[in-house]
């Protein structure tokens, strides 16, 4: 009795052709890219994006790798409120309380949110968020 596949057909795994195709694609796309190579050789970088990189002064892979941020903020050092200097950027851990929200003057649908932050020593500081999205207000 012949099955649904017929007399000449041999059942095979449907994954076998796909696996062979993927392996052949991987083998065909391997190439050596040096640090001095053009950014346009990278996968996903077309002519438009390459032009954007060129306009920013990034011509090679090396330029792209050494294009570092203009500043780095380390948020790991936690300070007490009493040690924070005016105008300094610091990381303070505490508990938020007395949150209030009001519309910003002359700004359609923008909110001004204020709260009190109390650290572990009991010191307090007033914090302000300008144009805080409503979903963030619910998470605070």
More confident residue, 140 or 115: 115
Instruction: Report the distance separating Cα 26 and Cα 125, nearest Å.
Output: 57
More confident residue, 134 or 10: 134
Helix (H, G, I), strand (E, B) or coil at 66: coil
What pLDDT is attached to residue 29? 58
Q: What is the mean pLDDT of residues 3-29?
A: 48
Residues 40, 58: contact at Cβ < 8 Å? no
> Where do the DSSP E strands lie in 55-123?
95-103, 111-118
Residues 115, 140: contact at Cβ < 8 Å? yes
What pLDDT is attached to residue 118? 94
More confident residue, 81 or 2: 81
% of residues, the chain, pLDDT over 70: 78
Instruction: Report the distance separating Cα 57 and Cα 35, nearest Å.
Output: 15
């Amino acid at each position: 009795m012949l099955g649904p596949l017929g007399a000449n057909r041999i059942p095979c795994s449907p994954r076998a052709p796909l696996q062979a195709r993927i392996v052949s694609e991987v083998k065909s796309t391997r190439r050596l890219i040096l640090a001095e190579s053009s950014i346009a050789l990278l996968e996903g970088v077309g002519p438009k994006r390459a032009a954007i990189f060129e306009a920013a002064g990034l011509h090679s892979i090396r330029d792209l790798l050494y294009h570092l941020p203009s500043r780095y903020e380390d948020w790991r050092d936690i300070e007490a409120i009493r040690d924070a200097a005016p105008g300094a950027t610091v990381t303070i851990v505490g508990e938020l309380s007395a949150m209030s929200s009001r519309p910003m003057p002359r700004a359609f649908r923008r909110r001004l949110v204020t709260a009190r932050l109390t650290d572990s020593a009991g010191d307090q500081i007033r914090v302000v968020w300008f144009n805080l999205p409503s979903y963030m207000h619910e998470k605070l």
